[in-house]
Structure 1
Amino acid sequence: MKHKQITDKIGFEQLNESIEDDLIRLVTRGMARKNGGSLDDVESYVLPLMLTRWNCFLLAETGLAKYYKEKVYLTLATLLHKYGFSDKHITEKALEAIDVLNDNVVLSDDFFRKSPKIKEFLKTKPTALKRKPSRQKNTTFFRANDLFSINIDGTYYIAFIHKLTGINESPVIEFYDETFNRPPKLEDIKTKKARGQQYNDGMVHASKFAIYGMKYQPDLANQIHLLSASENSVMAPDSSHLEESVGVYTVSNLFTIQDTIRKMFSEQRRQS
């Protein structure tokens, strides 16, 4: 049994690609940090960040397509195993998912016949990678002037896409100075004031970020939700109250931006 045989039988190419892109980005960074001496354990770095993103879907109770959660658990467990990791809870949920998919005849007869082998394979100890995985091509289906929310630990932040880098590689975004404790709608936004970032000079500067890995729309992890699509630039945040930007934008991704957002908003709360 091979990992690709399992994901092929699940038959959801975009889901497989989305999870694998996230894993490759995290594993590559984790291995680089371990080789540089700033990280002891790649798994303890990868899993929490991966789940912060995918738990936006896995822990959701509404708006779920039938049997999608089972496919996510099974794909996630399979790809974690492929890249040398194993999470007891995710593996158990994947084994349960196999039974649910079979009981409801969701996948093929071949998947049903191979299910015992798939279960045994997922329960085996994964082999740790010895080299960094190949980098994936950076692509985004978001567009300039899109307005979206991003969920981090149950708090929803609003951002505006000013432009895309390269040829549809990554959105360059700026945050609004507003948060929500539930999924917001466009009409919920009450301010166009931009949220800035505090630098070493003690001043809060206008800040934009190029977010690599922000690919699918709709987002298969349920973390990012489009609020307004490519209409015009009238909704761009107003940063006139902030100090001038330090550089054009900061290069980031869906995982490193998490801590940046937490820091941006918590620091300025302490000041207010």
Structure 2
Amino acid sequence: MKHKQITDKIGFQQLNESVEDDLIRLVTRGMALKNGGSLDDIESYVLPLMLTRWNCVLKAETGLVRYYKEKVYLTLATQLHKYGFSDKHITEKALEAIDLLNDNVVLSDDFFRKSPKIKEFLKTKPTALKRKPSRQKNITFFRENDVISINIDGTYYIAFIHKLIGVNESPVIEFYEQVFNRPPKLEDIKIKKARGQQYNDDIIRASKFAIYGMKYQPDLANQIHLLSASENSTMAPDSSHLEECVGVYTVSNLFTIQDTVRKMFSESSI
């Protein structure tokens, strides 16, 4: 049994690519940090960041297509195993998902026949990677002037896409000041005031971020939602109350932006 055989039988190529892209980005960064001496355990770095994003599916109570959560559990368990990691809870849920998918005849007869082998394979100890994985091509299906929400630990942050880097490589976003504890709608944005970032000089400045890895729309991790596919810039946040931005934008990704956003919206930044 091989990892690709399992993901091929799940039959959701975009989901598999999305999970693998996220893992490659995290594993590559984790290996660099470990080689630099600032990280001892790559798994303790990868799993929390991965789950902050994919828990938007795994912990969702509504809004998902039937059996999608089971396919995500199984894909996560398979890809984690491929890259040398194993999470007991995810593996257990993946094994349960196999039974549920078979009981409801969701996948193929071949998946049903190979299920015992798949289960045994996922329960084996994964082999740690010895070299950095190949990076995937950066691409985004989001567009200029889109308004999006990003779910981080159950808090929803709103952002505006000012432009795209390169040939649809990465969106450059700026955050609004409003936050929500529920999935927001476009009409919930009452004030178009931009949220700034506090720098080491204690000055709060306008801040934009190029988010690499923000690929699929709709987002298969259920973390990023499109609120408006705008055709003009009328929804752009107003940053006139903030000091001038340092540089054009800060290069970031779906994982490093998590801590950045938490700090930007903390009490010390108000």
Partner of 2:31: 31
Partner of 1:92: 92
Partner SS for 1:62: coil
| Shift in CA distance, 271/165, structure 1 to aligned 2, threshold 3 Å | closer
Partner of 1:137: 137
Q: Deviations over 1:115-149 (max 9, x none)?
A: 00000000000000000000000000000000000
Tell me by how many angstroms 1:231 deviates: 2.1
Partner of 2:174: 174
Normalised by the length of structure 1, the TM-score is 0.98
Partner SS for 2:234: helix
Tell me the distance in 2 between the aligned counterparts of 1:151 and 1:197.
Answer: 19
Tell me by how many angstroms 1:180 deviates: 0.3
Partner SS for 1:234: coil
Partner of 1:270: 268
Partner of 1:202: 202
Q: Within 5 A, what are the aligned runs for 1:149-228?
A: 149-228=149-228
RMSD: 0.7
Partner of 1:237: 237
Tell me the distance in 2 between the aligned counterparts of 1:184 and 1:231.
Answer: 20
| Shift in CA distance, 164/271, structure 1 to aligned 2, threshold 3 Å | closer
Tell me by how many angstroms 1:73 deviates: 0.4
**Native 8 Å contact 2:198 2:269 kept in 1:** no
| Identity over aligned pairs, percent | 89
Partner SS for 2:207: coil
Partner of 1:127: 127
Q: Extract structure 1 runs of 4+ deviating beyond 4 A.
A: none
- Which letter does structure 2 place at the counterpart of 1:270? S
Partner SS for 2:265: helix
Q: Deviations over 1:234-270 (max 9, x none)?
A: 000000110001000000000000000000110xx23
Tell me the distance in 1 between the aligned counterparts of 2:191 and 2:39.
Answer: 40
Partner of 1:14: 14
Tell me by how many angstroms 1:63 deviates: 0.9
Partner of 1:82: 82
Q: Deviations over 1:139-180 (max 9, x none)?
A: 000000000000001100000000000000000000001100
Tell me the distance in 2 between the aligned counterparts of 1:204 and 1:232.
Answer: 27
Normalised by the length of structure 2, the TM-score is 0.99
Unaligned runs of 5+ residues in structure 1 are none
Unaligned runs of 5+ residues in structure 2 are none
2:45 paired with 1:40: no
- Which letter does structure 2 place at the counterpart of 1:265? F
Tell me the distance in 2 between the aligned counterparts of 1:270 and 1:81.
Answer: 40
Q: Aligned residue pairs: how many?
A: 270
Tell me the distance in 2 between the aligned counterparts of 1:184 and 1:57.
Answer: 17
Tell me by how many angstroms 1:200 deviates: 1.5
Tell me the distance in 1 between the aligned counterparts of 2:154 and 2:269.
Answer: 23
Tell me by how many angstroms 1:9 deviates: 0.4
Q: Deviations over 1:39-85 (max 9, x none)?
A: 00000000000000000111000011111111000000000000000
Tell me the distance in 2 between the aligned counterparts of 1:262 and 1:145.
Answer: 24
Tell me by how many angstroms 1:271 deviates: 5.7
**Native 8 Å contact 2:138 2:169 kept in 1:** yes
